Homo-oligomer: A and B are copies of this chain.
Amino acid sequence: MRYELFYWPSIQGRGEFVRLALEEAGAEYVDVARASGRGKGMPAMTQIMEQQKLQTRPFAPPFLRAGKLLIGQTANILHYLGPRLGLAPKSDAGQLWAHQLQLTVTDFVVEVHDTHHPIAGSLYYEDQKSEARRRSKHFVAERVPKYLDYFEGALQANSKGKGYMIGRSSTYVDLSMFQLVAGLRYAFPATMKRREPFVPGLVALHERVARRPNVAAYLASPRRIAFNQHGIFRHYPELDA
Residues of A whose CB lies within 8 Å of any CB of B are 52-59, 68-69, 71-73, 75-76, 79-80, 93, 96-97, 99-100, 103-104, 106-107, 110, 114, 118-120, 122-123, 131, 134-135, 138-139, 142, 147, 150, 153-154, 156-159
Contact = CB atoms under 8 A, between A and B. Distances in A.
A100 B72 CA distance: 6
A55 B119 contact: no
A6 to B, nearest CB: 14
A76 B100 contact: yes
Contacts of A99: 73, 76, 79
This chain's copy number in the assembly: 2
A135 B118 contact: yes
A103 B135 contact: no
Contacts of A55: 97, 157-159
B157 A138 contact: no
Nearest to A53: B157
A112 to B, nearest CB: 13
A122 B96 contact: no
A100 B119 contact: no
11 contacts: A55-B157, A56-B96, A56-B97, A57-B150, A69-B96, A79-B99, A103-B106, A106-B106, A107-B110, A119-B135, A131-B134
Given A118-B135, A142-B120, A157-B53, A71 B59 contact: no
A92 to B, nearest CB: 9
Contacts of A79: 99
A113 B217 CA distance: 41
B157 A57 contact: yes
